[in-house]
Structure 1
């Protein structure tokens, strides 16, 4: 019997609904309110830093990070190429130019060995992407950044709960941007966060995320009538208190969510590890992989599109991995980046979410095995 196993599903329920009801009762539904402040305090423990700013999404967090670090027109920012284009877009929002660099063939994050060759007198910083959640090589990247006087940003869109050499994602770079989109490990449907060790930098970002003034909650209970003035261009990058209430529950769920995603990853590894037609994702021993996605690499002799269609015909949700950003027309002429381009053409994401039952893992594995072994998907 054909099942329907979606690519991803959030783990939400009555606790999140109850949290939303509390916000409704409070009367403060808009952004940067008491629920946002509470979420920031609680997420700090996940990120391993004291300073957290809730944002509307990860793209806004990336834009704020580069803005407060000083990126602007005429600058260049080095970016790991294999990533959803929000990373490159955020560079362009500052007026700077993204310079894409090829990635490691095993864990798909920016290759430190390729970074120095891309540095020019215009380079101001590096954005490393934790591809599908597994942290990049931050010790090597920090050494390069310090040697050249550059800042370092972690695009941790998928990384909540990940670690690198015992340190938490969110504390591995000057600033880190997180996403709470519906397919992430913890989610409010949308939303994001910016984290960092420097309280003054996060305070500046907080000002900019509310049009360039302090959030309204900072004026609550004043004995006077404070009227803020605008002396710096800002944005509306606030998370709503409704989203923050959901996120507070999601943070409490995080250990169980991570454990269940690891269970699913282990199940796939056990059932698919012997196949010659695909390569399974690598999880390095010195870092904790949060498994935002589970992405397989199909053999070059297989038609990736035919594989995907065959999986979907049997009820297995799937999609391509992510983008080789340098191939997107928006970014203009870019140098060839063969590793990222090859991954872009051969990756398939298969179902991964915390609620995936063991018998569904078995079903997906059986279907993948049948499909990639079929002569009908060979080129």
Structure 2
């Protein structure tokens, strides 16, 4: 089978605009991290996400770790984490020395169940880390009420959520700190990259310091008339995004509205083609939030053999994958509880092709092949 015959699971939308942006960065002479192009991207991304401060990072894991660190997570603390997520979310909590306490999820949109969060709170709990699963925002009004009632902070893992919104408010502005990913399968991408967003200036300033080894970035000293020498008084990290990647992200931000609309059209077409398919449940998009459809994940009935379906799809040129992880069952965490909703969906979810470049004919082909796989 030729590569051109394969319908890819994910695919970036890049072209001449991104190449011109890279050329502009090359011409500027500043290619390394936290430079003038990064600064311009941060300003634009803060506007898009409706916050006062955005900080570009080299990946979302770095942004998660930075956010948790400046919120004060440390050894002896517990952070409640939405369970259905790539383990970068739980890892980032463990990196601070705190313990991730996983909470079960809603069976319809797969983000953390507020009732499960409330039940998981202990005297050691310091915060809640919700996940916008596949881009659709979690229940932030309910989560904020719980956080405020118990004196906790609230953080949004918006890795998949660029272009999403909740009750008219953009993803990135829904918690004390939010974090984004610009990995190659995300809605906007530089191949890798991430960002931290917040409306809290003190947290933003601390994160910016820590993300450059614990000092102000070199750009802040660029126009100095003397020779300022920074002092290191806090252990920081190297979490900067290069200006080359920031240039790509500026071009991607220009595409954001169009890319989200294209994914929404694909999701709508899938819904029409698969909505009546026995053995398959299509995903839910709630009316009070905008879903950017980073992935399109169907739920197979318990009696459908997911491995057989996946094998059939791949043999017919349709890429697919499982949804994401039930984090609590991963051995690295040593978590002792059982979260039935997340554990069940982990075994029954199937991701089918979703990206902004899919043609109507390709979506028809994916749906027809899935129908044939279920009936075979």
Q: Which bin holds the TM-score, normalised by the shorter protein?
A: over 0.9
Structure 2 counterpart of 1:6: 8
CA RMSD of aligned residues (A): 0.9
C-alpha displacement at 1:199, in angstroms?
1.3
Secondary structure of 2:253 counterpart: helix
Structure 1 counterpart of 2:272: 270
Secondary structure of 1:345 counterpart: helix
Which of 109, 130, 133 aligns to 1:131? It is 133
> Quick one: distance in 2 between partners of 1:199 and 1:185?
27
Structure 2 counterpart of 1:309: 311
Structure 1 counterpart of 2:236: 234
Structure 1 counterpart of 2:90: 88
> Quick one: distance in 1 between partners of 2:336 and 2:31?
44
1:149 aligns with 2:166: no
Cα shift readout 1:238-278 (whole Å, capped 9, x = no counterpart): 00000000000000000000010001001100111001210
> Quick one: distance in 1 between partners of 2:344 and 2:104?
11
Structure 1 counterpart of 2:364: 362
Question: Where does 1:43-82 land on structure 2 (aligned, <5 Å)?
Answer: 43-82=45-84
Cα shift readout 1:126-149 (whole Å, capped 9, x = no counterpart): 000000000000000000000000
What count of residue pairs does the alignment treat as equivalent? 374
Cα shift readout 1:156-198 (whole Å, capped 9, x = no counterpart): 0000010000000010000000000000000000000000001
> Quick one: distance in 2 between partners of 1:225 and 1:259?
50
> Quick one: distance in 1 between partners of 2:268 and 2:327?
30
Q: State whether residues 77 and 124 of structure 1, in contact with CA within 8 Å, keep that contact through their aligned partners in structure 2.
A: yes
Structure 1 unaligned regions, length at least 5: 375-379
Cα shift readout 1:302-341 (whole Å, capped 9, x = no counterpart): 1111111110000001000000000100001320000000
Which of 102, 119, 122 aligns to 1:117? It is 119
> Quick one: distance in 1 between partners of 2:336 and 2:277?
35
C-alpha displacement at 1:291, in angstroms?
0.1
> Quick one: distance in 2 between partners of 1:46 and 1:316?
34
Structure 2 counterpart of 1:349: 351
Structure 2 counterpart of 1:377: none
Which of 164, 176, 179 aligns to 1:177? It is 179
Scaled by the length of structure 1, what TM-score is found? 0.98
> Quick one: distance in 1 between partners of 2:349 and 2:336?
22
Q: State whether residues 19 and 249 of structure 1, in contact with CA within 8 Å, keep that contact through their aligned partners in structure 2.
A: yes
Which of 281, 286, 289 aligns to 1:287? It is 289
> Quick one: distance in 1 between partners of 2:375 and 2:308?
12
> Quick one: distance in 1 between partners of 2:308 and 2:169?
41
Q: State whether residues 100 and 334 of structure 1, in contact with CA within 8 Å, keep that contact through their aligned partners in structure 2.
A: no
Structure 1 counterpart of 2:191: 189
Scaled by the length of structure 2, what TM-score is found? 0.99
Structure 1 counterpart of 2:142: 140
Structure 2 unaligned regions, length at least 5: none
Structure 1 counterpart of 2:327: 325
Which of 250, 253, 257 aligns to 1:251? It is 253
Structure 1 stretches of at least 4 aligned residues deviating more than 2 Å after TM superposition: none
> Quick one: distance in 1 between partners of 2:114 and 2:22?
43
Structure 2 counterpart of 1:164: 166
Structure 1 counterpart of 2:209: 207
> Quick one: distance in 2 between partners of 1:237 and 1:356?
33
Structure 2 counterpart of 1:24: 26
> Quick one: distance in 1 between partners of 2:193 and 2:15?
18
Structure 2 counterpart of 1:41: 43
Cα shift readout 1:27-60 (whole Å, capped 9, x = no counterpart): 1100000000000111112211121000111111
Q: State whether residues 277 and 373 of structure 1, in contact with CA within 8 Å, keep that contact through their aligned partners in structure 2.
A: no
C-alpha displacement at 1:90, in angstroms?
0.1
